[in-house]
Each structure stands twice: as C-alpha cells, then as structure tokens.
Structure 1
Amino acid sequence: MLIASSQSSKRKKHKRARLVINPRDGQNVTNITAMIAVLSAAGWKTDIALKEYGGQSVELATRAAEEGYDLVLGYGGDGTLNQVLNGAMNVKGCRSVLGVIPGGTANVWATEIGVPHDPLKAVLAVLESEARTIDIGYVEVQGLSLPAVDQHNQDEKLGQKSRKAKKKGAKLKALHHFLLMAGLGLDAAIMEHSSDALKHRFGPLAVGLSVVEELPALHPFPVEIRIGDSRQHGNLVWKGEALQIVIGNTRSYANLVQITPDAYLDDGMIDVCVIKPGDPLTGIEQISSLLFRHKPDHVTTEHFHGSSTVISVPASIELQLDGSPMQLKDYLNKTDRQALRKASNDQEVMVNYRFAALPRAIQIAIPSAYHGGLFSQPPAEEPHPEASQQRNGPHGHVQDHPGESAQRESPERISSLLEQGHRVTVTGVLPQPDDEHRYIIAGTVLKRNGGDSQPVAVQVIDHACILRYTGEQVAPAAFQDLHEGAAIVVVGKKSKRNVILATHVLI
C-alpha cells in the first residue's frame, strides 16, 4: 500500500510519524522545517527525536515503535538506519513502517532503492512509497573455540554456560540485526578507525584515508563456513584463508560493487561472498572485475547461499553491520569474555558467528518508482491503472478539463492574485494517490520582510482554482508538468508549520 494513500481523506485520522535524527554536527538540523512542512501537508503529525549520544537512535526507535507510530524515519546514514531497525525489532510484533532520509556519508540503502539524497525530495519519495515487508539479517555469537581445550568438550561447556546465562536474563548491548550487509575483515577495521568528525567534514574521503592506513596491516585469516544453524550440526562447505567476508541481505557494497548479486529481500536467504588472497595476476583480475563489471571475479571469490550459516574466524577479525563497527565483547556472555581475556593470543581464538535471514521481519518504505532486482515477488497491492488515466488521460499525457479553454480570468483578476500570493520556487510535486485533484508541492518562498527564503509545502485540495498566468483555468493534473525550479504563485493562508492551503495557484 502507498504510504501516502491513507492520508488523502479528511475523514481518516491523521497518522503519526517519528523522525529520528542524527544531527551530524548540526548538518542535518537545517532541513527539519522543510520536511515537517511536507509531512504536515500530506496529513502526517510528525514528532522529532534528536540523537544526543551514540546508540541513542536505538532507544528512540524502540520508543516510537512501542508508542505505535505508523512511520519511523531515520534521518542520517546507513548506521542511523541500522539503529532504527534494531530499535524497531526490540518491539515484538512491530507494526511501524521504517523509512530513510539520507543524511550520512555513503547512504548505500537510499541509493540502492532510489531515494533522492536531497532531504526534501527524499520525504516526497517516502510519501510516494510502498510499505513492503522484507527479510533482515541477524547475527549472534555461538561461542569461542580455544586452542588449549578439546573442541568437543569446549563446545559442550560453552553451550551449557550460554543456556545458564540466558536463564539469568543476561542482557547484551550488541546490535543483532542488519538491513544491508555484515562484514568480517578489512571493511570492519576501516570503519572502526574512521573518525566520525572527519566523516562529517570530508565524507567518503575520510573513509579513503582509513583504507590507506589499514592496507599495510591487511593479511589473510583462517575461515570455516558451515551452512546450518550451529557449528555442530552445520555442513562444512568451505575452509581456507580470506581477506574479507561479506554477508549480504542486499546487493550493493559501498555504492560501487554488486558484491552479492543474487541477494533478494524476500527470499528468506542470506548470501555470503568470500574474497580470497591471490597472486599479483589474480589481484589485477579482481580489481578489473570490480571496476568494469561492478562484480567480484570468481577466480578469487567464493559465494554461498542459505537461510543460516556459521562462520568461524579469529577473534582478532573485526565485525561491521551496515557500515558500523561492532565490538565482539558485546556479543559474548561473561564466561566467554573471561576466556577471551585470558587467551594469550586472540588470533588463535576462533569466534563462531551465526548469520541468518529473518523472513518477513519488518515493513519498510520502498519508492513506487523502484524497479530494481531486490525483490523476487511484486508488491502485494499494485496501483490501479485507472488512477493514472484519470490524472493523465487515456494516452498518459497531462490534459486540461474539456472546455476549460473558455474559462478565463480577467487580466485585472490575475494581477490581483499575483499581488496577494506567495511566490514559490518548486522543489518537487507529490500527487495524492486516492484523489486525482489533490497535490502537495514542496518548495521555498521569499520572506516578505527580507531576501531570505524559507521552505513551504503547498496543499492543493479539491476546490482550489489552478490558472495559467495568461488567465486560463486548467486541471490539477497540470502540476505534473512542473519541474524543479519552476516559479508559481500561491494564494492561501500559511500555517505555523509553513503549509499553505491553496485557494488559487498560478502556474
């Protein structure tokens, strides 16, 4: 169902949205007024939750889901969205729809599904989105394998102690869910050593500096991969050395490479890509494949697919979820943490990570214009073609009402409207799906007492009169011809939330 479709009728109760914001040193705060105006014009009562310290976005999203907000928007990067996801998953039977307003360094998820990086256009895209139920990734640690202890006995002891810890209600700080990808190896080390302050200031360049810093320390590490729910019962499918492991729920990696090109968001599976070390020639082949094919070369990669997999790597290998570094100790119970501290060399301690797909776990806003390959099945509800024909006419072109060419306002009346109205510069236009005569226009208007501009959202309802500057009356469908930067004049009362309820619009 379209996110905005249930908002167009006055008879329906306004729905509630919670905007969880990562301020990024104030960079993301300046756009809040504009976004609130558009959401308000679309019929949403929007509350703001500003993150004040690391990890708080999880708490804010949990609270929003518990309070029954219909839409929870993460305004930040992929890390912010990951925290919003984990917060929502803390609430059993969460019914909130999650969405993203890009405001981070890479914004991989927004790019992959086609959400514009401009915050105002992103809000319009979210409102014109489908609420799709998707799979998400899950990670946990099933225990450690210590070199000085017999493996079989150690697994039994750890299993018993883990069960005791659960009975005591041990509460771990770890984030267990991911939307995009998890990584073991170089990418996690890079994220761990990338300064947030530098990322806010320099963007992807800050990550590039961390890559240069970490490359000299890059070395292969031993890996075992089993398909199944546990190390004891899974089938060993690969054993060897790797430079990097990516566990994908989606496909795009850093907006550059389709690292898990066969992943779907609705198949109940996760995909694993192992990048192996090679000689200089295979290294050149891999780089060429990444640059030109945007896919890893099969010579130095291995791919696996399953609903659940156990991956064993040394404890020295770091983990990232959706681009955010995780701390191993947060996933361990007290017994395992003590064992790891006592180990003489963490490179000899193997961590058994279990990664799994949680089928149909959460609802998320996917732009209606998205036609990528992340879904194996079409949306449950498709928009009716009649609605498009009502707006655009039988051949898909914007049409005025028949006979409207005879309806013309006098030049004096047009001059009066021009003098009364707000001069709006258009940013974007959103049709309301349940009513062919209702539109929302996002833009900016010059303040009457100065030269500064401020954001506004124009709400065009059934009885608004739409006119050309030459005086002809036209149908509301003419708004679809408006492009970014177009100048219109809107007559109507402006609310405290910067929403103009239009009585007349000149285009």
Structure 2
Amino acid sequence: MKRARIIYNPTSGREIFRRHLPEVLMKLEQAGYETSCHATTCAGDASVAAASAAERGFDLIIASGGDGTLNEVVNGLAEKPNRPRLGLIPTGTTNDFARALHIPRDIEDALDIIIKGDTIPVDVGRMNDKYFINIAGGGRITELTYEVPSKLKTVLGQLAYYLKGIEMLPSFKPTNVRIEYDGKVFEGEVMLFLIGLTNSVGGFEKLAPDSSINDGLFTLMFLKKTNMAETIRVISLALRGEHLHDPHLEYVKANHIKVTSQDTVQLNLDGEFGGLLPAEFQNLYRHLNVCAPLDKLRKEDRVDADHNVVLKNSLIDEEDEIRSDQ
C-alpha cells in the first residue's frame, strides 16, 4: 500500500482543515493510501516533519495550510535525495503557489487532484541556505506580508494586507543595492526587488505574466527609486498587468542572482521573514514534483506530454519496487 503523510497547520483558515480531516483520511484510504498526520506546533516544525517523511520513504506528502506552511515543507524536502510527490490543500490567506497551479481552495476538490495523481515538475529557489517555491524579495514594501498579525489575517483575509499596505506607505523608502544577474550588474537605489518562480505574487496574478514554474529561470523585477505617487502608480499598473514597460521598472529572466547592500535589508521568502542581505539566489531546475490539474495550467507552466508519461511511469515503477521489497 502507498503511504501518505499529511502535514497541516491546525490554526490555518479558521481551523477548517482539522474539521474535514476524517473525510480526507477516508478518501485517501479508499484511494489506496495508508495515511498518517502531523499537526504543526511551532515555527520550523513542518520542515522537520517533511524531512522525516522523506527519510522514512513516504510516497506522498500533503501540505495543508498557507504559503508559510508550504515553504517549511519545501525546506524540509529540498536537500533530500529522495523527494516524495507533494500535494497541496490550501487553507491560508493568499495561497500564491496553489493559485499559480490552479489548485482550488475547496478541500475536497484539492484532494481529488492529489488522488488523481497527475504531477508537474517545478523549480525551487535556493537563497543562501534556505529555499523558496514562489517568491523572494527585499525592500520595505516586501515586509508587508509578515508584519500583518495572524489574527488579523484570519478575520479579514486578503483585506488585511491592503490595510497594512496603506498604513506602511509613508515608510516606503529606497535602498541602495548591487544586483548581479547572469553576468549583468545594476547598482543604485530601488524601492523593492522581487525574484519570482510563478506568476502569482501577493494575489497579483499579472505581476509576472510570462513566468514559468519549470523553465529553470527566475523572473527578476526591481522598482527603481521613485516618489510615493509614482510607487502607487506602478503598483496600480501591476494590478492590471500593465507595468512591464514602465521606465521605473526592470524586468528580466535569470538563473543566478546575487544581491548585496551596505544598508540593512530584510528579505521575504514566500511571505515569511527570510533573514538579511547579502543573498545569493540559485534556481534548482524541476526540483520537486507537485500534484496539479494539468488541464488547467497556463501554457507557460505545461511540460511536454512525453515528460509526464515518463514521470508517471517512473513513479509507478518506484512504487511497485518498494511494495515488492516490503
């Protein structure tokens, strides 16, 4: 029998997943999975649980929670030689990565995608000794996501971020940085920089319209020094996907990026505090296989049919081999 490990944040989404857990376990059993659960208890706990599940040879890990829970699971898996398939049941506030893969918020619908078993290879970002699966960034505006109190996110949802953003606007100031990317260099003041793996950042689904989750490249964006009015204007353009040709914005693709600064600059990794500059970013090409609705993916995120057939057959062969050894 195949083995699945559920790692979930019990407080995410007003504890909605905990209430649905009996039905989730029943459906997984009917699909042929022997399933066990781990409810996270503190920061970093999901990473430890994911690493342990990989070492114990689980076939599937299901992460349920928000972007922070997913980030911890990715950090637990990223350095393991044998990385199980990853399924997502999004119950957080933003769920950027799940949104990029068109994984629904409805628990039953998300579980059906996992049980169906179709997977897509996805790139993973490495920043110094940490990992991310959606976005990294720096600059005062990027601190927004982890400065919003958890209770406020639970009550107000996405609105909490907008309200906090308005509150923080007067403190948005430029930072002097040096950005090296694939042999090119930018030196100067920026309002923020973003290093993305998907098209969905903070609920902005048009921020990186030509990004791909599995092409081995980051989308690098940085907003050069502007006044507050110009910053607000560019943000409003980004909401409509009309920002790419703005003269204040640089938008490029790169595999390897290094950012340094004489200033103290906090980093954001998948919506959580990620440390301080300096930082070096490397794209790990197709490092994880994630359950996804293949027919709903953007064309930029799809892989050729041969890859999926080979991937699915190799997973079946691995499972047969494991069962024969037991």
Task: Sort the TM-score into its range (normalised by shorter chain).
Answer: 0.7 to 0.9
Change (3 A) 1:281 1:90: closer
Tell whether the 8 Å contact from 1:267 to 1:376 is kept in structure 2 after alignment: no
Structure number having the greater helix percentage: 2
Tell whether the 8 Å contact from 1:183 to 1:244 is kept in structure 2 after alignment: yes
Aligned to 2:112: 124
Residues 336-485 of structure 1 aligned to structure 2 (within 5 Å): 351-375=277-301, 377-381=303-307
Question: Could you tell me which amino acid in structure 1 is paired with residue 198 of structure 2?
Answer: T
Determine whether 1:67 maps to 2:21.
Answer: no
Task: Note the residue ranges of structure 1 that are not aligned, 5 or more in a row.
Answer: 1-13, 141-173, 229-234, 329-350, 384-433, 435-507
**What SS does the corresponding residue of 1:28 show, helix, strand or coil?**
helix
CA distance in 1, matches of 2:259, 2:97: 25
Select which of 238, 247, 250 maps to 2:195.
Answer: 247
Report how far residue 96 of structure 1 moved. Answer: 0.3
The structure with more radius of gyration: 1
Report how far residue 382 of structure 1 moved. Answer: 5.6
**Normalising by structure 2, what TM-score?**
0.86
Aligned to 1:22: 9
Report how far residue 42 of structure 1 moved. Answer: 1.1
Select which of 50, 54, 58 maps to 2:47.
Answer: 58
Residues 202-217 of structure 1 aligned to structure 2 (within 5 Å): 202-217=156-171
Per-residue Cα deviation, 1:16-75 (whole angstroms, up to 9, x for no partner): 111101011634311111211211111111111110112100011111111111110110
Change (3 A) 1:189 1:288: closer
CA distance in 2, matches of 1:381, 1:271: 24
Aligned to 2:125: 137
**What SS does the corresponding residue of 2:54 show, helix, strand or coil?**
helix
Report how far residue 125 of structure 1 moved. Answer: 1.7
Determine whether 1:269 maps to 2:252.
Answer: no
Report how far residue 311 of structure 1 moved. Answer: 1.2
CA distance in 1, matches of 2:98, 2:56: 26
Figure out how many residues of one structure are paired with residues of the other and give that number. 308
**Normalising by structure 1, what TM-score?**
0.57
Tell whether the 8 Å contact from 2:7 to 2:40 is kept in structure 1 after alignment: yes
Question: Could you tell me which amino acid in structure 2 is paired with residue 117 of structure 1?
Answer: R
Select which of 189, 207, 210 maps to 1:259.
Answer: 207
Per-residue Cα deviation, 1:207-249 (whole angstroms, up to 9, x for no partner): 2332133221110111211124xxxxxx442122111110011
Question: Could you tell me which amino acid in structure 1 is paired with residue 63 of structure 2?
Answer: G
Change (3 A) 1:376 1:127: closer
What's the C-alpha RMSD, in Å, of the aligned pairs?
Answer: 2.3
**Structure with larger RCO (C-alpha < 8 A, sep 6+):** 2
Per-residue Cα deviation, 1:150-206 (whole angstroms, up to 9, x for no partner): xxxxxxxxxxxxxxxxxxxxxxxx6x1111110111343212321122222322222
Aligned to 2:319: none
